[in-house]
Chain A
């Protein structure tokens, strides 16, 4: 959506990021396993551009956003910001650098401190980083509130006096206060109704044009992401399963999971009609992901392929009591993210599609 060219040095490079949460049991809280919330995620974002990150609830999208901002510790992997290793910063240096990377949270209720006025919520970071103080600060806060479509007179109010949509705008104003280069928008609009959703999306788009901010835009369905993203990554069980430019991903999906997600997008604009693909079974647990391709128990492509294939190349699995026949390779080998027969840069992790 933005006009910034996609060449040159990326603003942010995430390489093989992993975040595991220990699962503790028993009297001594022994670690009995790990929730692999993020399991080897890599992507990069150019300045002034937007990467959409899409996936079902619980697939680890928020964890990606939080880990790359170092709000929760990463298990392994690296994040480079402007070419520098972000994970190597410590103490004061890290605090200063945080100014340039902000986050807008998913839940407008818990993301604002209930004990602080809006003026302080937005103003304190500015003051701490020496961007403004005194009456200059008040003016800047008022200006920001106006920019996100709120009345500047709200500065003396407390968060509980606002609606969800208003709070979300306050959260956006807080992220903008530090004039960042990069914002993680963690389902910034999911909690809002549709008319307000589009207002906020427009606002984010305008701000991007004005200030050249890069976004990691997290959402759980493709409809929202389509309008705002330059590139889209689809996540499943802590991994990226498909990554492409937004246009190519929507017109030519290469992963069965993306196809399923796309078929669930309500059709507003004329587009070739798709049959709705209903995914059978539950989202598998991130503690014990299925072997092989993590998606194979729910995959319609592998079932189709298996019905045409040789019996030696297939295997029988049980999903929720019913027996299914899938490709042996899908059930046994983890597919890698590889270039498909599409635009350059369009990758997917699937054994079936070409």
Chain B
């Protein structure tokens, strides 16, 4: 025994150098180590950036302007709640993903930073309610000021606070999520863009010589800016002003492409998310309790599998009107059966695994047995098929838009594609190539990621790591 203790201590001495890695971390690393998957992840990352920072990249309103001797940021003022929520969620996610690698002062700093963001925004919200002129006049300034104050506090904390709070990484995650949610709610309250949007407002101001300074967005056109101030802006071929041309109504195609990534991602993730949650719940119950419950569940699955998704989508859209949420919910509710089958099979297998029996023997509550011990181990095939599911959800939405049943004013790739063939058989190549390429690349990327994930998880292809 002593000899073995000695060797374990020896290996233990080396241990801190290599961080312990969960199986999931290894699988993710293996997935991303393949070139195709890496390119695919890069493309999806680009889409995410486009979705989050769309208003900063393509916007008719200048990022910063000086009008009649006063500084303002029209872009900030015209942000809609969705823009702000996406931004907050994005930043919070980046912080949370990094939280494990951070030292304690950095963590403290981040939480205080988030709180510091919340407090001025809350103040602002209160003020804005009582003094509506105040918000109107200084709205943009206040956003900038509160961000500045937040950054300042953050820096001060990083330099000054060597505090050590003994919180586990899970507690940090909860705290971070809480702070992010609070920020989101408080930010939403004061975000009230002007109700009438005149896209040519700042172009007119520029022409009238009232704008002393302006920093336009890289693509100076909003996705729904129909260029009313410019005659004959419809269906312009790509040139230096409109890099991908304009569409039927005169809106800039590049701008619409960027903003459409939001719809593409949302439909993919949310529809698949709904499907996964429903599939895990039903499949988990079927697999754990088996027997009669399993039989009933199987019949339910067969019923849902018999529903033709696209047909149901078309009839629902025709009946209830066009809505992105409706489309998401329908795609989600018709595609969960595959996940349920996977989860059921996994749970049937896991039910008799020794570590699950050990959890039961240890007297752990059913909740823990199901969600801590079984579900994480049964989620693997679900992840693989989810990436294919996201791809097919995007395709469904594109098909719907192409059929003219998509969203009304929102930019979408399928909608652009639909406009490529106009009345009288005219064909506009830039309306076919760019959105078509985007759809193709996105679907292809998700499929590549799915393949890579499957390879990384295949125990026959892995040696040692998974045993």
Contacts and interface: CB of A to CB of B under 8 A. Distances in A.
A160 B358 contact: no
Given A110-B355, A151-B12, A153-B12, A128 B361 contact: no
B358, B368, B372, B466 — most chain A CB neighbours (10 Å): B358
A99 B360 CA distance: 10
A153 B16 contact: yes
Interface string A214-231: 000000000000000000
B8 interface: yes
A328 to B, nearest CB: 42
Interface string A122-150: 00110011000000000000000000011
A111 B358 contact: yes
B454 to A, nearest CB: 18
B377 to A, nearest CB: 6
Contact of A98 (B1, B5, B23, B363): B363
Given A102-B362, A107-B354, A111-B354, A151 B11 contact: yes
A203 interface: yes
Interface in B314-370: 353-355, 357-365, 368
B15 A151 contact: yes
Contact of A174 (B9, B11, B23, B358): B358
A158 B21 contact: yes
Nearest to A153: B12
Interface string A182-220: 000000000000001001001100000000000000000
B216 to A, nearest CB: 50
A114 B20 contact: no
Given A128-B368, A199-B4, A109 B362 contact: no
B98 interface: no
B231 interface: no
A59 interface: no
Contacts of B365: 95, 128
Nearest to B5: A149
A71 B357 CA distance: 6
B24 interface: yes
A150 B362 contact: no
A45 B364 CA distance: 26
A199 B373 CA distance: 30
Nearest to B24: A115
Contacts of B232: none
Contact of A160 (B11, B353, B355, B466): B466
Interface string A257-270: 00000000000000
B22 interface: yes
Contacts of A153: 12, 15-16
A98 B23 CA distance: 29
Contacts of A202: 1
Contacts of A96: 363
Contacts of B16: 153
B467 A125 contact: no
A102 B354 CA distance: 13
Contacts of B363: 94-99, 125, 128-129, 178
A227 B228 CA distance: 94
Contacts of A165: 4
A325 B208 CA distance: 118
B4 A71 contact: no
A311 interface: no
Given A157-B20, A160-B465, A161-B20, A115 B362 contact: no
B376 interface: yes
A99, A149, A156, A178 — most chain B CB neighbours (10 Å): A149
Contacts of A115: 22-24, 376-377
A98 B354 contact: no
A13 to B, nearest CB: 20
A149 B377 contact: no
Nearest to B16: A153
Contact of B23 (A97, A114, A128): A114
Contact of A103 (B353, B361, B466): B361
A66 interface: yes
A135 to B, nearest CB: 8
Contacts of A95: 363-365
B20 A158 contact: yes
Contacts of A99: 362-363
Contacts of B359: 113
Contacts of A196: 4
A97, A113, A174, A202 — most chain B CB neighbours (10 Å): A113
Nearest to B8: A151
B355 A113 contact: yes
Interface in B288-317: none
Contacts of B465: 160
A117 interface: yes
B360 A71 contact: yes
A101 B368 contact: no
Interface string A55-73: 0000000000010010100
A116 interface: yes
A112 B467 CA distance: 11
Nearest to A113: B355
A129 B11 CA distance: 32
Contacts of A158: 20-23
Contact of A199 (B1, B11, B361): B1
Contacts of A105: 354, 357-358
Interface string B1-41: 10011001101100110001111100000000000000000
B15 A71 contact: no
A245 interface: no
Interface string B218-234: 00000000000000000
B364 A128 contact: yes
Contacts of B364: 95, 124-125, 128
15 contacts: A66-B357, A69-B361, A95-B364, A102-B362, A103-B361, A110-B354, A113-B359, A125-B364, A128-B362, A128-B364, A151-B15, A154-B8, A158-B21, A165-B4, A199-B4
Interface of B: 1, 4-5, 8-9, 11-12, 15-16, 20-24, 353-355, 357-365, 368, 372-373, 376-377, 465-467
Given A102-B362, A117-B22, A151-B8, 9 more contacts: A103-B358, A116-B373, A149-B5, A153-B12, A153-B15, A156-B20, A165-B4, A166-B8, A171-B358
Give 9 nearest A-B pairs by CB, closest first.
A151-B12, A98-B363, A125-B362, A111-B354, A105-B354, A115-B376, A95-B363, A157-B20, A113-B355
